Structure 1
Amino acid sequence: MAALFVATFFLGYWQLTKAEAGGGAVNWSYALQWPLYGFMGLWFYVRMLKVELSRDPDEGAPSAAVVLYQRPRIDTSGDPELAAYNAYLAELNERALGQRSAGDGR
């Protein structure tokens, strides 16, 4: 991060020299933008470190209440073609789950 922060100032200086040599408004804007990019990256990095250091280590751990799989609901109240398609997908899902659980030895 430190190398990138320093690199943005070198890039800003390079754009400044091009702007002073008659490069135009684009070079002047880039000469200001590169250091801002460096400070923005540094700010995000420091913010990420603060969040990571204040985070509870067990915060992201799964608990027993986590639902790993829910059976799909089949909508039969609307279009019969859609209901038939959903039933077909549910059948394929059941077959895939049956093959997976038989292959895993569960």
Structure 2
Amino acid sequence: MKRLWTPAWIARHVAMVVLVTSFLGLGWWQVSRAAAGNAISWGYAVEWPIFAGFVVFVWWREVRHTLHGAASTTTAEAGSTTEAPAEMPAVTGGPDGPAEALVGTNRPRPGIRRPVRVARVPVDDHPDDADLAAYNRYLSWLNANPGAKPGDYPG
């Protein structure tokens, strides 16, 4: 619980409270405008509470993520010894299915993998193709003479 009372988390709590009260206040304002005859305000009156609910959802998700991270860190520190980690248990299924067998196990999390780098080597498919060589000479001439027209090619 102490992790939720750092200066960064206090700022998040305050921001959540300010945003939710502001969004609900704006929703109430839109309800009063809609009651006065502005028909489009009914849509906004529904949107603002949805925005407030989204802020609460994100805040709650971050709180759960932080508390879960704190719990896994304390269990990892308590169980850290010099012996090798235990192997993964075989998933044969618990009383409620295969997911039940993994509850409480220390599963390794997948890490970020590095991308595979492939060296690109030019392949010379047709080294003796005269038409291809002539076309490449034509393209290099066009590149060397940017103002020239294709009909000006001397070759």
TM-score bin, normalised by smaller chain: 0.5 to 0.7
Structure (1 or 2) with the larger CA radius of gyration: 2
1:26-65 equivalence runs, <5 A: 26-55=40-69, 56=72
Deviation at 1:71, TM superposition (A): 6.8
Q: Per the alignment, do residues 46 and 78 of structure 1 end up closer, same or farther by CA in structure 2, a change over 3 Å counting? A: farther
Identity rate, percent: 25
Contiguous gaps of at least 5 residues in structure 2: 1-15, 77-107, 126-155
Q: Which has the higher helix share?
A: 1
Pick closer, same or farther for the CA change 1:47–1:71 going to 2, 3 Å: closer
The normalised TM-score by structure 2 is 0.39
TM-score, L = length of structure 1: 0.54
Distance 1:78 1:14, change over 3 A: farther
Looking at structure 1, the residues matched to 43 and 119 of structure 2 have their Cα atoms a distance apart, in angstroms, of 55
Structure 1 unaligned spans of 5+: 80-106
Q: Where in structure 1 do 4 or more consecutive aligned residues deviate above 4 Å? A: 56-59
Amino acid at match of 1:37: F
Distance 1:53 1:40 in 2: 20
Instruction: From 75, 84, 91, give the equivalent of 2:121.
Output: 75
Residues 20-31 of structure 1: pairs in structure 2 closer than 5 A: 20-24=35-39, 26-31=40-45
